Chains A and B, each alone.
Chain A
């Protein structure tokens, strides 16, 4: 069953603008992660935020997590054409000694030069 649901499904912005992508989920989580996928490639991990954290930064990325609303947002500031990709949120849940990630369907971001 799909846990994370991203919004919007597609986003087109001009280079230099900020891109905001949202993810909502339904059940309890231990962490939430964002991944990027360039066309024809595997996923690349961007950032992880744990359930007891509210905000994290990594370079031009800012992720927030609101566990009361079961939602997260990923902000990419000063976007570049190279940011064009699909972005996935994934919710992490520890199950005994293991943990699993459940991925959303992804957001397609197009950054116009």
Chain B
């Protein structure tokens, strides 16, 4: 999985609790992304980062925050988990080719169940 790890791989939590998912890469890629995958919706972008401390919102960012204090780590926080955030979360990375990042490389995913 292109030097990308996600932790934890599985998590069960209760509604209202904060949850942090971690993505760690060893590829020194500049760009990192968080997606969620749900049946019938495919992959949807939550947040992405284009450098240390540089992040931006994606399509479904409500209820999520991110932080990137080091090139290799990108954290996704569910501030107060809800059942609608039960999903499989994927981290992805990419680097620049000719100034534009194109191909993305995905981590193994984190299965989150919010009860």
Contacts and interface: CB of A to CB of B under 8 A. Distances in A.
Nearest to A88: B42
**Size band of the A side of the interface?**
20 to 34
Contact of A1 (B31, B48, B59, B90): B59
A102 B58 CA distance: 10
Interface in B79-103: 90, 92, 99-103
A103 B42 contact: yes
Nearest to A41: B108
B108 A101 contact: no
Contact of B90 (A43, A48, A98): A43
Contacts of A102: 45
Q: Interface residues of A: mostly helix, strand, loop or mixed?
A: strand
Contact of A42 (B100, B102, B107): B107
B64 interface: no
Contacts, number: 58
Nearest to A46: B103
Contact of B106 (A33, A44, A92): A44
B70 interface: no
A41 B103 contact: no
A43 B103 contact: no
Interface string A1-45: 110000000000000000000000000001101010000111111
30 contacts: A2-B41, A2-B42, A30-B100, A31-B102, A33-B102, A33-B103, A35-B106, A42-B90, A42-B107, A42-B108, A42-B109, A43-B43, A43-B106, A45-B104, A45-B105, A48-B103, A88-B43, A94-B100, A97-B99, A98-B48, A98-B56, A98-B101, A99-B100, A99-B102, A100-B45, A100-B58, A101-B104, A103-B35, A103-B44, A105-B40
Interface of A: 1-2, 30-31, 33, 35, 40-45, 48, 88, 92, 94, 97-106
Interface of B: 1, 4, 31, 35, 40-45, 48, 50, 56, 58-59, 90, 92, 99-109
